[in-house]
Amino acid sequence: MPLPLYYFLAITAVNVLMAWALYLPYRVGHLHFITVANMAISGYSAAWLVMSLHVPFGWALLAGFALGGIVGYIVSLFIGDAPTFAVVIVGFTFIYITRTVIENLKAVGGTMGMFGLPNIAGDPVAHRWIILAILYGLLLLVGFLIHRFDHSQLGRAASAVFVDKDLAASLGVDIRRLGMQLQTFSCTIAGGCGVLYGFIYKSFHLDFFTFALVGIAMTIIFVGGYATMWGSLILAPILYGVPLLFPPAIQSWRIVIYGALLVLVLVLKPEGFITRRFVYSLESFLSGTRKKRNTL
């Protein structure tokens, strides 16, 4: 497989997973940017386990997921039902703190980062195939779980919380518990993504985990459509792939293009391109039924 195609497929999968990690807590109105910090924490920890303690990659990956989940759970104890802006600033603050700690930790290479991570299989080609298999397996699993969640009682409760917290609470929704569950799951995904992200490049550097990454995930979810999981799935390859077709001079303005796209979509089409109504219509069309459904 050509290297550019490998990177395109791998980074697209990571972007979709990261956008879904943002999508889930946003179902209850939480913009949970701590996911980027979690990527870094889990990624560096797994790399350290592999490089220094010679732990097999599989176990390091599992540790990355677990660490992400644990950090997410602990933080969610405090901000499970916090207002959106408080969740946002907790996320940003966490990113700053994580970056500073990593910058000062010699065990993980400090500002230089970690290079020369081993292939997880015998040779580079096998390494790439295994990374892709894990990523797309994870994509299918997470996608399935989110789809089930969206169509479950919990998903409907999340929609109610998004629209009106007070109403949802009066209907018996435990807002804090739901927020905690979604934040923990989101951080677990982010933890695993962080490990895989570094092993795609076989290195870890702080430049991987900047606010630009937050911007990319945010653009994917808001331009694609924050009300369904499908927007992220469709937009992630387009957003990452289309700029690659442009000359390098234009490619370097990628973040400006993302920002402009985000602003335009928020102004002109606030729910994003793939809306819930559109998905319901499509589902009805495909299943041949035309029954009216309530949309939130």
> Does 112 participate in binding another protein (rule CB under 8 A)?
no
CA–CA gap between residue 129 and residue 6 (Å, rounded): 9
What mask, x for binding another protein by CB under 8 A, covers residues 6 to 45?
Answer: -----------------------x-x--------------
Among 126, 167, 244, 263, binds another protein (CB under 8 A): 263
Among 133, 256, 282, 296, binds another protein (CB under 8 A): 256
> Do 103 and 206 touch, CB atoms closer than 8 A?
yes
Token match 């969640």: residue? Answer: 149
Closest CA to 60 of 118, 138, 143: 118
CB nearer another protein, residue 60 or residue 184: 184
CB nearer another protein, residue 124 or residue 270: 270
Binding range to another protein, per CB under 8 A, among 3-11, 54-62, 169-177, 250-258: 250-258
What mask, x for binding another protein by CB under 8 A, covers residues 213 to 232?
Answer: --x--xx--x----------
> Does 94 participate in binding another protein (rule CB under 8 A)?
yes
> Does 73 participate in binding another protein (rule CB under 8 A)?
no
Structure tokens at 266: 């928020």
Binding range to another protein, per CB under 8 A, among 88-96, 136-144, 180-188, 275-283: 88-96
> Does 92 participate in binding another protein (rule CB under 8 A)?
yes
Closest CA to 127 of 265, 252, 10: 10
To the nearest 10 degrees (0 to 180), the angle between helices 175-201 and 57-79 is: 150
CA–CA gap between residue 54 and residue 74 (Å, rounded): 28
Among 88, 154, 169, 238, binds another protein (CB under 8 A): 88
CB 168 to another protein: min, Å: 16
CA–CA gap between residue 190 and residue 197 (Å, rounded): 10
> Does 267 participate in binding another protein (rule CB under 8 A)?
yes
Q: Is the dihedral of CA 97, 108, 72, 272 positive or negative?
A: positive
> 113 — alpha (psi -120 to 50), left (phi > 0) or beta?
left
- Please list, in sequence order, all residues whose beta carbon lies within 8 angstroms of the beta carbon of residue 144, skipping any fewer than 6 positions away: none
Binding site for another protein (CB under 8 A): 29, 31, 75, 78-79, 82-86, 88-90, 92-94, 96-97, 100-101, 103-104, 211, 215, 218-219, 222, 252-253, 255-256, 258-260, 262-263, 266-267, 270
